[in-house]
Amino acid sequence: MKFRIATFTATALFALFTAIGANAQSSNTQNTVEYNKDGGYNAKTSSETKTPEGTNKLTEDEVKVKVDAEGFVKKTETVTQTTDPKGLGNKSENKSEVTEQEKANGGFSKTVKSKSTDSSGTTTIVDESENTVVDENGNVTATSSAKKTVDPKGLLNKKTVVDIKKKKKIVNGVVVEEEVQKK
């Protein structure tokens, strides 16, 4: 009798731990960094996760930093996120790229590009840019633009939602010119 109770208990515990293990989330992360001779570097992180429900999530983050001969830094970061739930036709993907570059006298430029596709197939694209130039007298000219385009699944239904361009000129700390264009 004691042997049967012990066997039953061991079998029940084995079944319980097997069921818990089957519902566990698994993940894997990898990192790499390579240094360049110019003082910059390339770094990449990749992370993959699988949920107990069968959803696969993949995130990749890549950073590239370059330093030119004058010491100005250019940094580009690209992030891609993919979510693929169990089943057909319901995958979504988001990708963004941010580039920043230093310029003389404290100026800089920055661009942001992102593209996302949801599980229903609608693609949204956002492009933003900013450019600031500082001349030798300290006068600043800043320009920026933003554009958002939405493209639902199907043909000939792409639509630009926002398209704005701005320009601002600052001389001796005073705004002397400002212009905004909306399309």
Instruction: Indicate whether 89 and 120 sit together in one domain.
Output: no
pLDDT band at 160 (very low <50, low <70, confident <90, very high): confident
pLDDT at 21 > cutoff 60: no
The DSSP result for 46-108, as a single string, is EEEEE-TTS-EEEEEEEEEEEE-TTS-EEEEEEEEEEEE-SSSS--EEEEEEEEEEE-GGG-E
- Whether 151 is covered by a domain: the verdict is yes
pLDDT of residue 157: 85
Same domain? 50 vs 71? yes
| Whether residues 139 and 70 fall in one domain | no
**Confidence (pLDDT) at 16:** 47
Same domain assignment for residues 54 and 125: no
Picking from 93, 113, 144, the residue at the C-terminal end of a domain is 93
Are 29 and 81 found together in one domain?
Answer: yes
On the question of pLDDT at 106 being above 60, the answer is yes
pTM to 2 decimals? Answer: 0.77
Does residue 134 share a domain with residue 85? no
Give the Å distances, CA to CA, from 48 to 82, 88, 112, 180: 10, 19, 25, 43
Q: How many CA atoms lie within 13 A of 53 on its CB side?
A: 7
Q: Tens digit of pLDDT for each residue in 26-72?
A: 889 999 999 999 899 999 999 999 988 888 999 999 999 999 999 99
- How many domains are there within the chain? 2
- Identify which has the larger pLDDT, 24 or 117: 117
Measured CA to CA, the distance from residue 71 to residue 38 in angstroms comes to: 9
Note whether residue 71 is domain-resident: yes
* Token couple for 39: 């003082």
With respect to residue 4, please indicate whether it lies within any of the assigned structural domains: no
> Does residue 64 sit in the same domain as residue 86?
yes
- Asked whether residue 35 falls in the same domain as residue 88, the answer is yes
* Contact in structure between 95 and 78 (CB atoms under 8 Å): yes
Q: Are residues 52 and 89 in the same domain?
A: yes
Q: Which domain holds residue 133?
A: 103-183
Cα end-to-end distance, the chain, whole Å = 85
